[in-house]
Structure 1
Amino acid sequence: MSRLKDFVIDAHGGLPRWRAFEQVSADLRQGGVLWGLKGQPDTLSHTTVTVGLRNEWALHAPFGAGRRHSRFEPARVALEREDGTLLEELVGPRQSFAGHTLQTPWSDLQLAYFAGCAMWTYLTLPFLLAWPGVETEELEPWPTDSGDWRRLAVRFPRTIATHSTLQTLYFDGDGLLKRHDYNVEIAGNTPGAHLVSDYIEVSGIRFPTRRRIYARQPDDSFSTEPLVVSIDLSNIRLS
């Protein structure tokens, strides 16, 4: 168990190098059918995301029209002006999704919460596996046309806001993350298969720049239609 976790963290650049930084930012383009289903087709189609590496927080700027940005933390999400003036906030945001299904529209603050916890999770993996309270267990390999992928079942503590308590990560022979499975609890436990590719190296850390998310079936297979979410990252920088 620990050997695979350590192997994949080292493959992405290693904890000592990762811990030399406090945040990561990237230019972000997003597409897919999810945003229209939620009544937010263009709000975050082209923006910049910044996430913390030592605490869980995320910013999206701009956040739609009006020169706003979002500020996400697990217990609070807010929309602010460029100068930091508070426009609106939601305390205890996860509770606001009670009873939601995949088709339930999101308010701006709910979108900010989802996008914040999602991108924080994506940009901090696999280093997030070393956080206190995160538990991992190696599963049987997953066969692919390019060889078997090793898998980790991950259990997140309640102190971390993420898609679901239980998630599964798939790694290729080089230890690079290739797929990420979870259920989106705040959208009716919708199951997703999240494929990652097109790695680049930034300051010694390896990041995938292309992400495609599809509906996952009970046997963990998936179809590439419809494309639920597309995420393309560029200009990644650590500081």
Structure 2
Amino acid sequence: MNKLLTQAIQAHGGMARWQSLSDGHATIVSGGDLFAVKGLPQDPAPREMTVRLHEERASVRPFGAPDQKTDFTPGRVSIEKLDGRVVAERMDPRTSFNGHALETPWDALDRAYFNGYALWTYLTTPFLLTMPGFTVTDIEPWREGDEVWRGLRATFPPEIASHSDEQDFYFGSDGLLRRHDYHVDVAGGFAAAQYVGDYVDADGIRVPTRRRAYRRSIDGRPRLHEVMVSIDLSNVRFSD
């Protein structure tokens, strides 16, 4: 395994602990300019997120109504009643974004798909980079103020849904993730720089509870006045 990734895995709780767990849960409050641009402004109500750790599957509740939730996998996304009745579903959901620009409106299933893959990615980082099909290489570090953050570029396998095929992860001297760069392919491919922090220990796994994704300039600097997505986590926990 890549040396920096090995250090990051250890800093975030270690592979042995991760392998002993199966599910992740968190209360999320999200917002940001992206959802308003897409015609789906986000209210500040807390929601419950659940993800599978070793396969790409996620759900959030409530969604659209108090008695509804989402069910996301890369090949299918649905909105369902809590008793399992399907309200709406879409097979092969990634194709619905073909031709989208940043300003292209989303429908509820588009939003459910984005939420599913994004939160699954965030709650499984950096451990997902050890899954079959991923490749990682060292890249130039990023200097942030007085700190130097070491970088990894990850190429995602086609069966994993995420922001873009290539994504960059920057880690502090303690091995913890500090910044995550990517292109949001489902929203016209705009460049994003996501800063993470406020770590907690959740059942032996170190998790950042604050995420802010900004538009990224050509020089790599975040446009701090353009918060595209904000995510605050609380009550983070993992189960076997």
Both structures adopt the same fold (TM-score exceeding 0.5): yes
Matches within 5 A, 1:1-239: 2-42=2-42, 45-239=45-239
Distance 2:45 2:157 in 1: 30
Give yes or no for contact 1:31–1:45 (8 Å, CA) kept in 2.
no
Distance 2:191 2:135 in 1: 21
Give yes or no for contact 1:79–1:109 (8 Å, CA) kept in 2.
yes
Distance 1:89 1:217 in 2: 36
Residue 128 of structure 2 aligns to a residue whose secondary structure is helix
Distance 1:52 1:24 in 2: 6
Cα-to-partner distance string for 1:4-39 (whole Å, 9 max, x where unaligned) = 110100010011101111110100001111111111
Give yes or no for contact 1:163–1:184 (8 Å, CA) kept in 2.
yes
Offset of residue 168 of structure 1 = 0.3
List gaps (5 residues or longer) in structure 1.
none
Cα-to-partner distance string for 1:118-167 (whole Å, 9 max, x where unaligned) = 00001100001110111000112211223211000110010110100000
Residue 5 of structure 1 aligns to a residue whose secondary structure is helix
Distance 2:103 2:164 in 1: 18
Amino acid at match of 2:102: L
Residue 136 of structure 1 aligns to a residue whose secondary structure is strand
Cα-to-partner distance string for 1:26-82 (whole Å, 9 max, x where unaligned) = 000011111111111136853111111011000010002252100000000001001
Residue 226 of structure 2 aligns to a residue whose secondary structure is coil
The 1:35/1:234 distance shift into structure 2, 3 A limit, reads same
Q: Please provide the CA RMSD for this pair.
A: 1.2
Residue 236 of structure 2 aligns to a residue whose secondary structure is strand
Distance 2:91 2:67 in 1: 22
Offset of residue 237 of structure 1 = 1.0
Distance 2:185 2:43 in 1: 22
Distance 2:43 2:52 in 1: 22
Normalised by the length of structure 1, the TM-score is 0.97
Q: Percent same amino acid among aligned pairs?
A: 46
Moved over 2 A (4+): 42-46
Normalised by the length of structure 2, the TM-score is 0.97
Offset of residue 226 of structure 1 = 1.8
Give yes or no for contact 1:211–1:230 (8 Å, CA) kept in 2.
yes
List gaps (5 residues or longer) in structure 2.
none
